Amino acid sequence: MSDQPIPPQAERAQTTGSAVELLQQARAHERAGAMTEAVQCYQAAIDRADQDGQRGVLAEALRRLGVVHHHRDQPVLARGLCQRSFQAATEIGDVVLAAEALNALAGFDFEGGLIEAAREKFYQALELGGASPELRGRTEQNLGILANIQGGLIEALTHYQRSLEAFESAGDERGCAIAYHNLGMVSADRDLWDDADRYFRLSFEIAQRIGDIHLQGLGLLNHSEVHIARQRYDQARQNAETALGIFDQLGPKLDKADAYKVIGRVYRETGRHALAESRLRSAIDLAVSTGSILSEAEADREMALLYQSMGRNQEALRLLNAAHRLFGRLDARVDLVDVSTKVGRLEETYLAVVRDWGQSIESSDSYTFGHCERVAGYAVALAGELGLDEQQRTTIRIGAYLHDLGKVRIPHEILNKPGGLTPEEFRVIKMHPVWGLELLATVEFPWDIKPIIRWHHEKHDGSGYPDRLRGEEIPINAQIICIVDVFDALTTTRSYRPAMSRGEAFLKMEESRGWWRPDVYQAFLRSVNRVAEAA
């Protein structure tokens, strides 16, 4: 889904006069992309308007030239021109032009990361120029976008609704279509599917009536998100393919990437894996070619979900790591996106894939079903008892799911052997921490779980494996997994013995307390009882 709300379009009525002609020429050049000529004409319009005392035209030309310079990465020049525009408009008491200048300055603040300053100026612009419905429509829309990227969905909804009312009273149909579209997006984000359906339909009808093809394509594509949520897969795919056809004609690669992503999701949800993979691959390639971090990260995440559903967990994690790195580079202001919500959703996906993978390891060892999930539960409780922070708790949870990953390489008959193991068989078992690390060699995690995997069988008294570390050499995360791993092994049925009661397990562990750091051992006893009470 293209998550960006559509920014407003700058249009304003003209007056007459020679400075006006220059201004019109400048705008024509700008629309045609002839920026050097546009800058010259704006400058000439400014000079002429200044001579002739046409303050209104002066204010307008100053602002427009300011915006051009802003797009040409000349922020100081841009700001200076818009401030002069504000002064010129204020001198003649043209509140609408003054508000337009404020609106432009607020936009610069916003893109420069000065969110509060931007909000303040948008409100000032509303107060000054609110009588002009066009200006009100665009300013409310900007405030909506601002709220949206900060996760304030209800606030965004209110602003978009106000912008809709303003565009309606201005008779601006395109403005209305954009407002309906943005209302559809926010409603979908809030899972208000009926509303979203209705808004997207209204937006599309208007876009069709006024012949705005691009807006039709965006509307179809984003509406397909609602179709997917409601499992109307055929409708979703038809919409996205029509949108793709439109974008093919118009040529914006980024929109095409989003269309491929939606089509890929439909194929994934309907179990057509090969088609899903090829469409999502196109989405990723297109996103990479446009340099859009957001689009690439989202496409990576969708592909990871496909790999997860195919049991290709290693590949899924590799993509999720890539997406995680990309999200770290996202800039909410530039990408118009609520980054924290997106990162939260990505981390949820991450945990789901890791949990899946952990469970698939268990399936080769019929006696350990649910082991990883329980170890994760005990370990996170123990980490909390030891006062470890959120980041460390997440590391421990993921490490818990994957700590025995290397067991997939242990032959089934050794893993499930009833009775004692020969020394040779035990030597094979002791390889699993090293094999686990080998399996993860190509996966770069945002959380450092490798010490857990390698050292979760190391013991404080130096009697563990594979590296015979002792004391403080063993990282705390590995000690935590070690102790709860032993506890879960003792309290569940194994191929070689029945489950012990908790009391028996505690006695058994008391005999071996030299295996763990004393504070870890004590904290374990406190926390495990709490987990028992909660269970």
Which residues form the interface with Fe ion (CB under 5 A)? 404, 485
Distance in Å, CB of 457 to Fe ion, minimum: 6
Q: How many CB atoms lie within 10 A of CB 462?
A: 14
Nearer to Fe ion among residue 296 and residue 404 (C-beta): 404
Distance in Å, CB of 456 to Fe ion, minimum: 6
Closest Cα to residue 99, out of 109, 117, 116, 85?
A: 85
Distance in Å, CB of 509 to Fe ion, minimum: 15
3-state secondary structure 389-415: CHHHHHHHHHHHHHCCHHHHHCCHHHH
Nearer to Fe ion among residue 145 and residue 490 (C-beta): 490
Distance in Å, CB of 386 to Fe ion, minimum: 20
Nearer to Fe ion among residue 277 and residue 404 (C-beta): 404
Nearer to Fe ion among residue 197 and residue 404 (C-beta): 404
DSSP 361-381: HHTTSGGGTTHHHHHHHHHHH
Nearer to Fe ion among residue 121 and residue 457 (C-beta): 457
* Residues 399 and 453 sit within 8 Å (Cβ to Cβ): yes
Distance in Å, CB of 489 to Fe ion, minimum: 7
Nearer to Fe ion among residue 108 and residue 487 (C-beta): 487
Nearer to Fe ion among residue 389 and residue 426 (C-beta): 426
Distance in Å, CB of 406 to Fe ion, minimum: 8
Q: What is the token pair recorded at 281?
A: 């691959």
Q: Among all chains, which residue has been given the structure tokens 């359906």?
A: 197
Burial of 526 (C-beta count, 10 Å sphere; 0-12/13-18/19+): exposed
The HSE-up count of residue 29 (CA atoms within 13 Å, CB side) is 19
Nearer to Fe ion among residue 109 and residue 404 (C-beta): 404
Distance in Å, CB of 371 to Fe ion, minimum: 6
Number of H helices, E strands in the chain: 27, 0
Closest Cα to residue 106, out of 83, 87, 77?
A: 83
CA distances from 275 to 306, 427, 452 (A): 11, 45, 38
Nearer to Fe ion among residue 34 and residue 414 (C-beta): 414
**For residue 118, which phi and psi values (nearest 5 degrees)?**
-65, -45
Distance CA 433, CA 428 (A): 11
Distance CA 134, CA 140 (A): 10
Distance in Å, CB of 398 to Fe ion, minimum: 14
Distance CA 153, CA 335 (A): 17
Q: How many CB atoms lie within 10 A of CB 535?
A: 7
Distance in Å, CB of 181 to Fe ion, minimum: 51
